[in-house]
Structure 1
Amino acid sequence: MRLFMRVLLLNALMATSAHSQAVMDQSDKSIPPELLRKVAASLVLATRDPFAAQLIMLTYGVKNQDDLCGLINTKNEYGAYIGFKPFHYRDTDHRIHIDDASACD
């Protein structure tokens, strides 16, 4: 049932034209909307509440310009934010890697 709900959410995210997470510092202005939609879709499988994710300091990766780097704040199982952690989104495998900013160095 849980997998079904995640797949349903993923389909809903892919169908919308806007991304679900909030970019708190306007750093998304230079990021293409399509890339932001891909990041939002990857959050469905990587976080407990993808709609509540907060992003800041978005930049392109140093090693690969197709990667997106920044800080992400997500909620834990109790619904509380856990604090900003580094992340990078790798466009080649369409996955977000939280607590791993190795592509951003």
Structure 2
Amino acid sequence: MRLFTLLAAFAALAASSATLAAGAIDQKPIRAAIGEKLKDPYSAVLSDMVRRTAPNAKGVPTDVVCGLVNAKNSFGGYVGPRPFIYFISQREAHIVDVSAGPNDLDRMIYQNFCGATR
């Protein structure tokens, strides 16, 4: 009985932690920062957002949000999901140009904090 109670408590804790982690990302400042870089900021659809902490170029731990953004171009069509990184303390976003080469600065920043580009 005690094992069942412990398992139930652990499952409840894990479920609440997952919900808290998913809900802990405030999209409003992310949308504002990404919107500054888009032709149609109101069309932005954010997905696959994950909060991470990784060292910056100076070795200082930095909190970021990694994710994907899909938005409309000048012709009114969605361009497809593109990786983005949002720096929480600086309230600054970078959208990766997936057609750019491996030496693209935004691509290198994204790879440093978020892993391989999608």
TM-score range, shorter chain: 0.5 to 0.7
Question: Which residue, out of 74, 77, 84, partners 2:81?
Answer: 84
Aligned to 1:49: 40
Two-structure CA RMSD over aligned residues (Å): 2.5
Report the structure, 1 or 2, having the larger helix content: 2
Query: What's the TM-score once normalised by structure 1's chain length?
Result: 0.62
**Is there any run of 5+ residues in structure 1 with no aligned partner, and where?**
1-26
User: Between Structure 1 and Structure 2, how many residues are aligned?
Assistant: 78
Percent identity between the two aligned chains: 27
Report the structure number with the largest CA radius of gyration. Answer: 2
SS at match of 1:67: strand
Cα deviation code 1:6-63 (max 9, x no counterpart): xxxxxxxxxxxxxxxxxxxxx9x72436x31110111231111111111111101251
Q: Tell me if structure 2 keeps the 8 A contact 1:68–1:88.
A: yes
SS at match of 1:42: helix
Structure with higher RCO (Cα < 8 A, 6+ apart): 1
Runs of 5+ unmatched residues, structure 2: 1-18, 55-60, 97-106
- Structure 1 moving runs of 4+ over 4 Å: none
Q: Normalized against structure 2, the TM-score is what? A: 0.56
